[in-house]
Amino acid sequence: MNISIIIPAYNEEKRIGKTLEEYSKFFDKLVKSNGIDYQILVVINGTTDNTEQVVKNYKKKYKRINYLNLPQGGKGFAITEGFKEALKGKGDLIGFVDADMATSPEEYWKLIANIRDYDGAIADRYIRGAKITPKFSFRRVIVSRIFNFIVRVLFLVPYKDTQCGAKIFRREIIEKVLNETTITQWAYDIDLLYICKRNNFKILSVPTIWEEVEGSKLNVKKASIQMFFAIIQLRILRSPFKDLLRIIKPLIAKIYQYTK
């Protein structure tokens, strides 16, 4: 089994090193004990710090680390370009994980180990058996649950956690959905899962242990506003009324600018 793990990285010079170290050590052991092979593909996107040099240093230490350095930013763009690059290789399973080590390599391996007859597996922080440490504030829990409710109503997807940054899919699934996804900052994961649902792909939610990491750039209040308008935009795009986007896009752009 050959695994490709994509790590989108925007200004992650302080956190990417630990992630590359821990993931490389863990999966190197599995190469010996389980007979798997893997690559870690870091997709540096629009970064303004020293992320590239940090990745270069770890690439010298671990031969299965590769990277792209792209001038354009955005998580959706980075993952899409990572998928394209991974498909040039031999990966049987292709997925992505956030650069901050909120998902440990042990937890990511659970997705791979449990995929079995499914087309993909996603980490879920809200189903039985999952754990968030330290616990989210009451406000953040409420915001995330309202957001998920809206997503499930608008897109009719069954997943309780679309936003956890740890997912993996079979190669043939990525090949089929890649050209259908849109390049969005906040709604990329939702779009990916919606396309899977529309194609009747079986996606397994796996309970995960997720650790809040210092240095997060997420502003919950601003992100909530941006995420709300992103899913509205995506819902229109995936409907017969997609021409409406030409009318409301300027308004959405102004809102995004205001919340930066």
CA dist 215 and 42 (Å) reads 19
Structure tokens at 198: 């529309």
Share of the chain above pLDDT 90, in %: 67
For residue range 137-166, list pLDDT tens digits in order: 888 888 889 999 999 999 999 999 999 999
Amino acid 138: pLDDT:
87
Amino acid 248: pLDDT:
57
CA dist 78 and 86 (Å) reads 12
For residue range 187-236, list pLDDT tens digits in order: 899 999 999 999 999 999 999 999 988 755 555 566 667 777 788 778 88
Q: Determine phi and psi for 237, rounding to 5 degrees.
A: -60, -35
What does the domain layout of the chain look like in residue ranges? 2-218, 219-260
Amino acid 216: pLDDT:
57
The answer to whether the beta carbons of residues 151 and 190 sit under 8 Å apart is yes
For residue range 97-107, list pLDDT tens digits in order: 999 999 999 99
- Read off the amino acid at residue 164: C
The answer to whether the beta carbons of residues 43 and 95 sit under 8 Å apart is no
For residue range 57-71, list pLDDT tens digits in order: 999 999 999 999 998
pTM of the model: 0.89
Question: Which CATH topology does 2-218 take?
Answer: Spore Coat Polysaccharide Biosynthesis Protein SpsA; Chain A (3.90.550)
Non-local CB neighbours of 99 within 8 Å, separated by 6+ positions = 7, 8, 9, 12, 15, 16, 19, 42
String of b and e for 13-38 (b: at least 16 CB within 10 Å)?
A: bebbbebbeebbeebeebeeeeebbb
Average pLDDT of the segment spanning 53-57: 97
pLDDT bucket at 259, cuts 50 / 70 / 90:
very low
| Closest listed residue to residue 210, CA positions, set 161, 255, 249 | 161
Residue 169 has pLDDT above 70, yes or no: yes
Q: Measuring CA to CA, how many Å separate 27 from each of 101, 106, 205, 246?
A: 15, 9, 22, 46
CA dist 5 and 23 (Å) reads 10
The residue that leads in pLDDT, 254 or 174, is: 174
